[in-house]
Structure 1
């Protein structure tokens, strides 16, 4: 298999044997439904495939590629397939190989950034770069911005580096260079930084992710010969997740498809949820305007979710105006068609903590009845919502995993190791050198580094060359001279051996020779031990020389790894933000926090108005369609947000769900019935009036919140009622009654004895783990 991050093998020098892929029969075509088959066999001209959630878009894209190659419509290297994640590219390439063999490996397949980096390395000189340019990560980008602000005496509190970087990246996503930005005062300050930032990147022979496509677009627009080469090369172009493309990606596709116009875009306008990172829903909405002769095929047969889930989700999304329109239905003979068509359960709790308790108990109930933990997920609108669930899951010994936290390559020790390797590959990479020049400590302080930077700036050379110059001229002395000289000599030695040893052996040598590993070994803390294990894992990853034969191959892989490529194949409940859940599916899905201000999120509404509300609704649609069998929507009347208690009204999205497809699992009659204008239970109001949400807002002041009067009403089979809930609460309270001297048990530390009680905290002496201080909820009586 070719490296997915390098995209595809080059076309062979010898003539390719087309007869090797001539297939008299294509049996896998018979596995497609009529709409899927139509999308696969429609190969000529512009095509938009509107693929709803769970309708098999990956299967269609793979089959379409296989169909084109099997029918000899093009050589594999004349096909371009663009995905949004490396995981999607790997999955598609594996599927294509299963259908048509190894010829799939020669297809140009990868992410927009992966495609762009391949083109840019070939033509780097046309934009003033060398072909071995370095792709900077966000941390280095921020440091560079900060350096530029300091050099110009600009207050980084007034102009935070991250804010400037976000603005620059947004401009790049829109295809805007610094000379095309408006000249308002604040924009002018940022524009000047943008200009200097780009100039400095060129000096360092570095690019950021936004540059990859922007430079590539620049090359294609300014060099007719290069443009013609790629327009001729790519006879068939297929794009996944077209609704998530930004302006620069859109312009790139429009340029390279002009010769043959065989552009197939697969996407779902109802799942466009990434405008905050530059995605333009208008790209997919205007496809037929861009290509008047385009054919549009709708995939509406869903193979994932039950009829109640699909009907409710479709009803919800129909409230959006900016959409092309489609209606999902359960595919015949799909697991969903044969399964339990449970109604969506809408659960109202008194507080966020009761919401978490309900979810934990329901997860345990489902698990006892055969649902694996990894087939259940809690999807939250904001990361801050996970805390109560994490604490409750720990207390109830429910295994869980938070998806979307700090990634492996973002950890400090990994970034340090990679910085050493970057300098070996690219001595002009000042940002990488500055990061590790005093790691481990070499007595090189900020003032010394500033001298190095000034020498480099005055002479228009890299910091590495500036240090060499200062050593040669005797400008350094004492400990600084000794230590810097040793470091420079180490880099000479590492560079000389780079091509003689494997990447993992080189990395191990660098960590030992530099003293970095010894620095961690001298630190006896548990944190240091974890960092050592992380570095060992880095070396382990690099040992795959078949995948990464050279250091450059591995470093490019690291640069192109996508945020959502998480390993979730473990038996743990998943805690995920809604934006990170796209593309995933679970047997049971819990959607907490469906309250006004939280979902739809107030900040989004304040900043984006009506268009933001539609995107929030699309986010709700995506969340609902992650569920295969069971879906729970939860709303809490009170919630602690950033340390403050907040009274909430249920989300307007709940009011947009069809009453026939939902089950009100607990009634809020106690609260709403006492409020004059409600006139009855929440469920009755929901069923009887389409103005339930508006009437709720009018009577917000009258809602009575009395936790002792709250009760659940639920199916007898599930065992929930107000009395059962109160019994469970009493049991929990009894379990937390742990006087001094009592024996307790903790899932990690085992058995122990309570020594002292401080409010809700216990001091415990564990038989094996010794002295610990824990919250009461995290232990139980032995």
Structure 2
């Protein structure tokens, strides 16, 4: 529903809930899957530290788990072992984590271990279920509407205070209100609190306080709840009502909290309400992966666990099963250089011990400018993919999302497909919801048709919209990639299960949706370092590693710089085997080379002479591109590709451009790749404008590298000469 232009949804009963004996939300339906036959079988295959964690079935327990050390394996086996040993009934366990993906993975593992009724949820999901359930007896009256986004209400609050804010300004103000609420700061205390926290508000502190106060007043007037108020109200309902507290604590007796270093004061308030005076809690985390302090998270609850629970059991997981010794060495060295500001995080630092065989050495590379860096990284990725590394097992990670554009362009030029991380969860995407609804209906009919052909036929219906090739445009391409991933999943199911039917496929989809297990999107992942937390790839490229970018320029206090160092550590530890780190000395070709490599590379990168030699070699190859119309130096990737400024006049044969587009579409369909992998729109327009008559002229157009020249050169030259392009298989050498 919509309220005042604000997208909202009504908070109502949980229709998917399967009530337990008490009717309390959370007791899931039993699973038909069979787990291990005995408690000891559950412990089979755990290393000594994981085994210690799993056998520590009574709290309080604190597991300090380094990156790649198998913490999810340890805690799910601990839960399953406690259930199988009769320590606690599975329906009385609540495992809390921070993302639906992590919660879904945990539920899937617990089902396989024979504990399907354990509740694994995010803080928000658990609070929403409880608040919905207890609302009639605790509060009464109409249930409030839960806000999906603060932006609309923040805009109304800002206007009521005379503040005119653009979209970025609204987002910044919403984030500041969110930080205030999770850290339990009221509007009247905001100005003093930001000074004490050393925080720089996005506008005058008094204006933030006024808008925050207006936001809360409007929210109450309109009977709305945001996610922070939902957590706070749930905690209050439990704390203020002894009968409700008794119900909650009777239902949930055994708690596990993942990523405990990311807990904020508001989440801790709710956790304390759940626990009461009990101590059967297991927390898991790594202080050196604390990267959300800007949002109110604090590692203090993890590092201070021994103070809160002096009798707690502590287990340290340090065996790294994810990364090669070469990658682990970089990660350990990066944290060893942490300054005094690292504080308790440094005291709790885990020295990772690699368990994998040796791999390639990390690659450090310095470039004259950002376009050169992006182009070189794309070429390295293309070589990896060509040598057998799946594109989905490669990631390019950067500090800010604004850095992605150069890599999108460079990967497209190199003929490598990619996907941007950070969009809507896969099964929440409108096109996937519509497709699943249609597929579910089709599964009710005859089941003798071939699965893959039937799925593709359904997905290609106009109302769903899967086409043979990916369309242009980021949002359209992301939609296409989602549907293509669904089609690919049908092929995987058919290959794994001979004779699989539509009903089997729909059952697989619904199981994945229930556990947030999305099919992998084929393509190199482009993501910010924050968005990459919790993920891993065979090959990771950390790019833009310069002072001012990592650490980010506004990280001025020592504590802020150390958090940036931890962000670098998170990026490094995403890599299993290949790790590339690069930086550029200037933003644009021909610009002043005043940038410095990130201080986090000190002690890691090779001595400067070898880098200078590399730079000298690249300088020979680099070239400044000038507009062929006005002779201005071209900076933007699209302009460099066109060979002119975007607003400089240029004539071209529209019929030729149309022929090139038709040929590209046919070629992409034949090769089963997105159209941009053949040539981007900008490259096609550059070809149409210049109408090359020979190989040398065609090779001089940005975006036409050696590989594309070999694959497509003869066809493009034929089209430019007004001749039909040679059919597949007839193109020979272009020389």
What does residue range 369-408 of structure 1 map to in structure 2 within 5 Å?
369-405=387-423
Structure 2 contact 151–171 (Cα < 8 Å) conserved: yes
What is the TM-score normalised by the length of structure 2? 0.67
Q: 1:406 to 1:7 in 2, by over 3 A?
A: closer
Map Cα deviations across residues 443-493 of structure 1 (whole Å, 9 max, x no partner): xxxxxxxxxxxxxxxxxxxxxxxxxxxxxxxxxxxxxxxxxxxxxxxxxxx
Structure 1 contact 175–214 (Cα < 8 Å) conserved: no
State the partner residue of 1:590. Answer: 541
State the partner residue of 2:529. Answer: 578
Structure 1 contact 346–664 (Cα < 8 Å) conserved: no
Map Cα deviations across residues 317-350 of structure 1 (whole Å, 9 max, x no partner): 122333112111123xxxx23xx42221111222
What's the CA shift for 1:46? 1.3
State the partner residue of 2:241. Answer: 223
Structure 1 contact 761–776 (Cα < 8 Å) conserved: no
What's the CA shift for 1:400? 1.2
What's the CA shift for 1:128? 5.3
**Aligned mate of 2:330, from 306, 312, 315:** 312
**Aligned mate of 1:171, from 165, 180, 183:** 180
State the partner residue of 1:649. Answer: 596
What's the CA shift for 1:664? 7.3
Q: Could you list the structure 1 runs, at least 4 aligned residues long, displaced by more than 6 angstroms after superposition.
A: 4-8, 14-17, 406-411, 662-666, 733-736, 739-746, 756-759
Map Cα deviations across residues 252-300 of structure 1 (whole Å, 9 max, x no partner): 2233224330110011111111122221122222221222222211000
What does residue range 325-340 of structure 1 map to in structure 2 within 5 Å?
325-331=349-355, 336-337=356-357, 340=358
Structure 2: runs of 5+ lacking an equivalent = 1-12, 194-202, 435-440, 442-462, 464-470, 487-501, 624-639, 644-651, 669-677, 693-699, 715-735
Matched, 1:206 2:149: no
State the partner residue of 2:552. Answer: 601
Q: 1:203 to 1:123 in 2, by over 3 A?
A: farther
**Partner Cα distance (1:126, 1:187) in 2:** 39
SS of 1:146's partner is helix
SS of 1:634's partner is strand
What does residue range 58-73 of structure 1 map to in structure 2 within 5 Å?
58-73=72-87
Structure 1 contact 346–632 (Cα < 8 Å) conserved: yes
What's the CA shift for 1:734? 14
Structure 1 contact 6–114 (Cα < 8 Å) conserved: no
What does residue range 32-181 of structure 1 map to in structure 2 within 5 Å?
32-100=46-114, 104-124=115-135, 130=141, 132-138=143-149, 141-151=150-160, 153-156=162-165, 160-178=169-187, 181=190
What's the CA shift for 1:628? 1.0
**Partner Cα distance (2:242, 2:684) in 1:** 75
What's the CA shift for 1:48? 1.0
What's the CA shift for 1:168? 1.7
Map Cα deviations across residues 530-569 of structure 1 (whole Å, 9 max, x no partner): 69x89x99xx9xxx999x9xxxxx9xx99xx99xx79561
Of the two, which has the highest radius of gyration? 1
**Partner Cα distance (2:308, 2:544) in 1:** 40
Structure 1 contact 128–202 (Cα < 8 Å) conserved: no
SS of 1:214's partner is helix
Structure 2 contact 323–577 (Cα < 8 Å) conserved: yes
**Aligned mate of 1:621, from 561, 569, 574:** 569
**Partner Cα distance (1:526, 1:620) in 2:** 33
State the partner residue of 2:611. Answer: 668
SS of 1:777's partner is coil
State the partner residue of 2:444. Answer: none
State the partner residue of 2:42. Answer: 28
SS of 1:77's partner is helix
Structure 2 contact 366–584 (Cα < 8 Å) conserved: yes
Q: 1:90 to 1:570 in 2, by over 3 A?
A: same
**Aligned mate of 2:305, from 287, 293, 318:** 287
Q: 1:312 to 1:21 in 2, by over 3 A?
A: closer
Q: 1:593 to 1:5 in 2, by over 3 A?
A: farther
Structure 2 contact 641–703 (Cα < 8 Å) conserved: no
Structure 2 contact 228–266 (Cα < 8 Å) conserved: no
State the partner residue of 1:431. Answer: none
Q: 1:623 to 1:758 in 2, by over 3 A?
A: closer
Structure 1: runs of 5+ lacking an equivalent = 418-501, 503-516, 518-524, 549-553, 673-703, 712-732, 767-773
Structure 2 contact 36–113 (Cα < 8 Å) conserved: no
Structure 1 contact 49–297 (Cα < 8 Å) conserved: yes
Map Cα deviations across residues 416-446 of structure 1 (whole Å, 9 max, x no partner): x9xxxxxxxxxxxxxxxxxxxxxxxxxxxxx
Deviates more, 1:4-13 or 1:162-171: 4-13
Structure 1 contact 113–213 (Cα < 8 Å) conserved: yes
Matched, 1:349 2:396: no
Map Cα deviations across residues 676-714 of structure 1 (whole Å, 9 max, x no partner): xxxxxxxxxxxxxxxxxxxxxxxxxxxx99923889xxx
State the partner residue of 1:271. Answer: 289
SS of 1:575's partner is strand
Q: 1:747 to 1:366 in 2, by over 3 A?
A: farther
Structure 1 contact 135–207 (Cα < 8 Å) conserved: yes
**Partner Cα distance (2:334, 2:591) in 1:** 31
Q: 1:40 to 1:5 in 2, by over 3 A?
A: farther
Q: 1:143 to 1:327 in 2, by over 3 A?
A: same
Structure 2 contact 536–574 (Cα < 8 Å) conserved: yes
**Partner Cα distance (1:395, 1:60) in 2:** 43
**Partner Cα distance (1:186, 1:164) in 2:** 11
State the partner residue of 1:436. Answer: none
Structure 1 contact 129–205 (Cα < 8 Å) conserved: no
RMSD, matched Cα: 5.1
Deviates more, 1:41-50 or 1:341-350: 341-350
What's the CA shift for 1:247? 0.9
What's the CA shift for 1:111? 0.2
Structure 1 contact 134–207 (Cα < 8 Å) conserved: yes
Q: 1:373 to 1:408 in 2, by over 3 A?
A: closer
**Partner Cα distance (1:566, 1:77) in 2:** 23
Q: 1:407 to 1:55 in 2, by over 3 A?
A: closer
Deviates more, 1:616-625 or 1:321-330: 321-330
State the partner residue of 1:569. Answer: 520
- Figure out how many residues of one structure are paired with residues of the other and give that number: 577
**Partner Cα distance (2:291, 2:329) in 1:** 21
Q: 1:573 to 1:163 in 2, by over 3 A?
A: closer
What's the CA shift for 1:142? 2.0
What's the CA shift for 1:378? 1.1
SS of 2:267's partner is helix
State the partner residue of 2:490. Answer: none
State the partner residue of 2:467. Answer: none
